[in-house]
Chain A
Amino acid sequence: MWVLKLAWKNLWRNRGRTAVTISAVFFAVVLSITAGCLQDGVFANLIRNMVSFYSGYIQIHQSGYWDQQVLDNSMTRDEQIEESIRKEPGVTAFSPRIESYALASAGEVTKGCMVVGVDPEKENAITMLKSKVVAGAYFPHANASGALVSEGLLQRLGLALGDTVILLSQGYHGALAAGQFPITGVLKFGSPELNDQLLYLSLPSAQDFFSAPGQLTSYVLALESDDVQGQVQAGLQSALGSQMEVMNWGEMMPEVEQHINTDKSGMYTIQIILYLLICFGIFGTLLMMMAERQHEMGMLIAIGMKKAKLVQVVLAESVLTVLVGCLAGMLASVAVTYYLKNYPIRFGGDMADMYKRYGFEPIFPASMNPTIFFTQGIIVLALALVLGLYPMFKVLRMNPVLAMKN
């Protein structure tokens, strides 16, 4: 008991120093949690934006489709699969698609394009396709017979709204696919890749064109957040069995995932530097503290205080200081991240322009992921306690006569 009492009194002896240590820990915790939550939020937002272009968080295909994306690897639309998807918690929407390459021609010009057959409403729920319409109109109903053509493709074909586009392709089981479609709408995508090659049909007219009635190449899923992705993927994979492949965006676009991981490791470097700075700060105060109290500690050992007891006192001081700083820091971080979540940082410059071009808000939202609070809190606590080993080490090696010499 008196160990704690003595430790407590020692904390008040040099308030300035105690305050410096507490604030060092406090700011370390606030900065690292805020940085962690921002990083988490920004990447989650980036992924959310990116998957809403086209891919969705998760897709379901017949096994083998992703490796060989041909109509012969398509699946039959199946109410049981859709029921499984609906039952899976965390899934907010899904859209059935049939996709394949085709040649689009107009007069002398022929260009490759990607034909995507969609359920107008379901697709809109995931990719907000309706909002991409810049001329003409979105599919008026599920069986609409017109085509929505991306702006870039339309230009390359030299066509305009109201013209007719001729499509040629290979259909299901080797059938020849040919058809002509009135252009009823023009789509504008931020991504040039999409803007130059997408052509949307309603699901029935695409199935008809490919001679693949009732066939789908994929189900595209939207999720509440990327936090539930792992759980949904595993849940669906086990519900649907090995006949189906349930893939997440990272598996479908490994290069994007790798890019994000590279960015994240850059963030970790910054965090490590932050931790190092804080460590030096705390270590400095510990050095000062030990120099100042050397004589007194030597005296206490001389009169018969066991080193182990003295170590308890010094450790209690470290633990108290660090705990106060850490807890205060965590509380403040709740406030800071709550604010940044609701009033996200807006950024400008080229990056903002790019975001806007792709149709997204140029913001850095913060997440309030409890795991981040927990891990960052523990890291700072552990670091501070490791630093607390220095006084402990000094005490254990202390020679009372030498310590009292000055």
Chain B
Amino acid sequence: MKDVIDAHNISKTYNRDTIPVAAVQHVHLHLVRGEFTALVGPSGSGKTTLLNLIGGLDRPDEGSILIHGTDITKLSANQLIDFRLRNIGFVFQSFNLVPVLTARENVELIMQLQGMKGSEIEARVQALFRQIGMEDKMNTRPSQLSGGQQQRVAVARALASKPQVILADEPTANLDSKSAGNLLDIMLKLNQEEQMTFIFSTHDQRVIERARRVITLVDGAIVSDTARVATEST
């Protein structure tokens, strides 16, 4: 079976005011289907950069990134957008949703972009909102939702496109601990029920505890990669 993610020796250096900053250095990363992985490390350690690279939002200076067998470093800019649409689910730290659309329209949008049929979309939207426990909020605008609810809708949207992997960059950073725990519950549930692969960055210890694999970055390099038994939620 193909690895969901197979990144080989990737590096990325930014130039900030002509001073080179090695944001990611010689990283090798393998993720198989169904993993639930946390990317941890101090601020500035390269978590976001690494996620952007494997998500095809940014290009590495060297190395190759295979997502389910496709080397995304070889794709054109337009191919890359389409690749993201079909293979990668994104959850960002905040402001994930289009403010003028309701929760359900936000989720529908990505399926419309994929060209899914209306009846199919309808069925999937219902199922997704049931899974995130927000059937009653489907027609609510993002501004009327709590931060935790918005992030849950973002997760539903990421899942809606049936991606290979969902990348979440500090999805709980703006949430209180209860909402953060709640979001993690949902992510874990989707991970188990749909065998969805997750990789998320965080520096919240309680979130780290829920991960089954923890990769630690320091100065853009992986310093540890440990498998652990996830703590079940209470």
Contact = CB atoms under 8 A, between A and B. Distances in A.
Contact of B85 (A296, A305, A307, A404): A305
B92 A304 contact: no
A304 B84 contact: yes
Interface stretch (A2-10, A121-129, A140-148): A2-10
A301 B109 CA distance: 12
Contacts of B161: 303-304
Interface string A2-24: 10001001101100000000000
Nearest to A12: B100
Interface residues of B, number: 28
A296 B158 CA distance: 16
Given A2-B109, A12-B100, A299-B92, A401 B52 contact: yes
B100 A400 contact: no
Contacts of A401: 52, 57-58
Contact of B113 (A9, A299, A302, A305): A305
Interface string B56-96: 01100000000000000000001001101110111010011
Nearest to A404: B92
Interface string A270-298: 00000000000000000000000001100
A401 B89 CA distance: 15
Nearest to B89: A303
A304 B163 CA distance: 11
Interface string A291-323: 000011001111111110100000000000000
B95 A304 contact: no
Given A6-B100, A13-B100, A400-B57, A306 B81 contact: yes
Contacts of A305: 81, 85, 113
A6 B101 contact: yes
Contacts of B52: 401
A299 B92 CA distance: 9
Contacts of A300: 98
B96 A299 contact: yes
A1 to B, nearest CB: 9
B100 A303 contact: no
A296 B109 CA distance: 14
A306 B92 CA distance: 19
Given A401-B52, A401-B57, A304 B96 contact: no
A400 B99 CA distance: 18
A306 B82 contact: yes
Nearest to B49: A401
B43 interface: no
A222 to B, nearest CB: 62
Contacts of B95: 295-296, 299
B115 to A, nearest CB: 11
B101 A303 contact: no
A244 B156 CA distance: 86
Interface in A355-401: 400-401
Contacts of A12: 100
Interface string B7-49: 0000000000000000000000000000000000000000000
Interface in B102-121: 109-110, 112-114
B210 interface: no
B213 interface: no
Contacts of B152: none
Q: Which of B110, B112, B158 has the most CB of A within 10 A?
A: B112
Contacts of A302: 55, 57, 84, 90, 92
A285 to B, nearest CB: 17
A24 to B, nearest CB: 22
A8 to B, nearest CB: 9
B151 to A, nearest CB: 13
Contacts of A306: 78, 81-82, 113
A299 B96 CA distance: 7
Contact of A303 (B78, B85, B112): B85
B137 to A, nearest CB: 18
Contacts of A13: 99-100
Contacts of A296: 95, 98-99
Contact of A304 (B58, B99, B101, B110): B110
Contacts of A404: 92
Contacts of B55: 302
Q: Which of B52, B81, B158 has the most CB of A within 10 A?
A: B81
Contacts of B84: 302-304
Interface string A132-143: 000000000000
Interface in B131-181: 157-158, 161
Given A6-B101, A400-B57, A401-B52, A307 B92 contact: no
Given A13-B99, A303-B158, A307-B81, 16 more contacts: A6-B98, A6-B100, A6-B109, A9-B101, A296-B98, A299-B92, A302-B92, A303-B85, A303-B90, A303-B110, A303-B157, A304-B84, A304-B113, A400-B57, A401-B57, A404-B92
22 contacts: A6-B98, A6-B100, A6-B101, A9-B100, A12-B100, A13-B99, A296-B98, A299-B98, A301-B81, A302-B57, A303-B158, A304-B82, A304-B113, A305-B81, A305-B85, A306-B81, A306-B82, A306-B113, A307-B78, A401-B52, A401-B58, A404-B92
Interface of A: 2, 6, 9-10, 12-13, 295-296, 299-307, 309, 400-401, 404
Closest 4 CB pairs of A and B: A304-B85, A9-B100, A304-B84, A13-B100
